[in-house]
Structure 1
Amino acid sequence: MVIQKKVGFISVLFIISMHSWCQQQINLVDKFQNQKIKAVNRSITLYGDQRDAIELNAENSSGIGIIEDLEFEKGIIEIELLGENNPGKSFIGIAFNIQNNDTYEAVYFRPFNFVAEEQIRKEHMVQYIYHPEFTWRKLRSERTGIFEKGIRIPPDPEDWFKVSIHIKENNIEVYVNDLSEPSLIVDRLSSTKSKKIGVWSGYGSSGRFKNLIIK
């Protein structure tokens, strides 16, 4: 009995150790302060009274904050995002497989659609893109309803919400807050060529980001 208990205890420690090893928490504030986030078409500042988040400003282009000294190919990206209820002016998310400043995959959200009443806008809450070839406009016109979806229980567009993006070899699943079912499942439009990831905001949009975890 004593041996069985010890073996069980060792097994538990091993599982905990493996879990910790497979999970990495990224402090975006520290990265920013140590000049380890490369701004592309954006300026980056600290955000909030607690200064526990970073913010990308709004510009007339898509923008990225590429996180240096961090490699990610496949797995799970978790992060908290804050947009705003400003129609056509709030697009926030994560870019990955960043091959250069213009070529990358991204999953992003339109918080202003979280409170939409029109059915068509309800179906445009979360989006997958592969720039520059597969923009949201091209995907919407040529493959309608496949790469953007609604969220069953939408977050408050003026509050922080958590997303979990499961990136696999050929497909992606996107989970929002505590929902057990994915809000979006898509086939990837690119194979992985880069291990770079970054925070992302769209045309005319600022965005706030904190609590990044990769698994």
Structure 2
Amino acid sequence: MANKKEINQINHFKFQPVHTATEIVTIAGESAIRVVKKDKLMQFDENTYAKLKNVNFHNGVIAVKVLSRLLPDAPDFARGFIGLAFRINDDDSAFESFYVRPTNGRCSDPVRKKHTLQYFSYPQYTFAYFRDQGITDYEGTADIGLNEWIELKVVVTDDRAEFFVNGGNNPAITVDPLKHGAHSTGSIGLFVDVGTEGYFKDLIVTSFDEMK
């Protein structure tokens, strides 16, 4: 039996800010958590998220709705980076992640469009590593934009993950194998990166095995 923790009011979860500032807010009458990168870390694809407390996730489904805005002081290269981290270890030194770049989704530049979706594995396998190696398997396209709710879903089974956007029947990206392997476990994080004012709601976690 799957262990399903379905909570539409996101403030029922408990979060630990990791290099972020977080607060519960109300948008259109619904609770959401606002997450903004706080510490001036020098690299992209780092451990910058609101991390669920007392959760140890291995296999299952994580679904959430995200909304991304650019901060007033966002640099030119900001893309509205927002997504999920999962299997985060205790000291935040290793995890898997899937995020989106909403500014790229409807961009007229075909190259940027191909970079709308991103998988990375911290700490080694960042988007910069994949691009430097000419590896294109971990990016994809999606019809998304800033300041709109985007549905993200991650389905994890051992060393395989499928990433879905806005209720699509087919995964937008499939990763097989995950860089940290089939047996890694850990927490779940609401991920943002530089220049993003991120909002998250309707978080649903369904575990295929025992979860705290």
Task: Determine if the TM-score, normalized by the shorter chain, exceeds 0.5.
Answer: yes
Structure 1 range deviating more: 115-124 or 187-196 = 187-196
Aligned with residue 182 of structure 1, among 162, 171, 189: 171
Aligned with residue 211 of structure 1, among 186, 202, 212: 202
Give the C-alpha shift of residue 47 in structure 1: 2.5
Aligned residue number for residue 168 of structure 1: 157
Q: What's the secondary structure of 2:121's corresponding residue? A: strand
Given that 1:84 and 1:112 are in contact with CA atoms closer than 8 Å, whether structure 2 keeps it comes out as: no
Aligned residue number for residue 190 of structure 2: 199
1:40 pairs with 2:18: yes
Give the C-alpha shift of residue 89 in structure 1: 4.2
Given that 2:81 and 2:193 are in contact with CA atoms closer than 8 Å, whether structure 1 keeps it comes out as: yes
How many Å separate the matches in 2 of 1:184 and 1:178? 13
For structure 2, the 5+ residue unaligned runs are 207-212
Aligned residue number for residue 81 of structure 1: 66
What percent identity do the matched residue pairs reach?
A: 24
Aligned residue number for residue 68 of structure 1: 53
Aligned residue number for residue 95 of structure 1: 85
Give the C-alpha shift of residue 114 in structure 1: 1.2
Q: What's the secondary structure of 1:97's corresponding residue? A: strand
- Post-superposition Cα deviations, 1:165-185, rounded to whole Å, max 9, x if no partner, equal 111212211111122111111
How many Å separate the matches in 1 of 2:56 and 2:204? 12
Q: What's the secondary structure of 1:52's corresponding residue? A: strand
1:25 pairs with 2:6: yes
- Post-superposition Cα deviations, 1:22-75, rounded to whole Å, max 9, x if no partner, equal 4221342123xxxx2110111101233435100112333341111012232111
TM-score (norm 1): 0.81
1:133 pairs with 2:124: yes
TM-score (norm 2): 0.82
Given that 1:115 and 1:157 are in contact with CA atoms closer than 8 Å, whether structure 2 keeps it comes out as: no
Aligned residue number for residue 54 of structure 1: 33
Q: 1 or 2, which has the higher strand percentage?
A: 2
How many Å separate the matches in 2 of 1:196 and 1:134? 19
Letter of the 1:198 counterpart? G
Letter of the 2:127 counterpart? W
For structure 1, the 5+ residue unaligned runs are 1-17
* Higher RCO, 1 vs 2 (CA within 8 Å, ≥6 residues apart): 2
Aligned residue number for residue 121 of structure 1: 112
Given that 2:56 and 2:87 are in contact with CA atoms closer than 8 Å, whether structure 1 keeps it comes out as: no
How many Å separate the matches in 2 of 1:189 and 1:143? 17
How many Å separate the matches in 2 of 1:180 and 1:41? 34
Aligned residue number for residue 105 of structure 1: 96
Given that 2:17 and 2:51 are in contact with CA atoms closer than 8 Å, whether structure 1 keeps it comes out as: yes
Given that 1:64 and 1:199 are in contact with CA atoms closer than 8 Å, whether structure 2 keeps it comes out as: yes
RMSD: 1.9
How many Å separate the matches in 2 of 1:68 and 1:78? 17
How many Å separate the matches in 2 of 1:111 and 1:123? 12
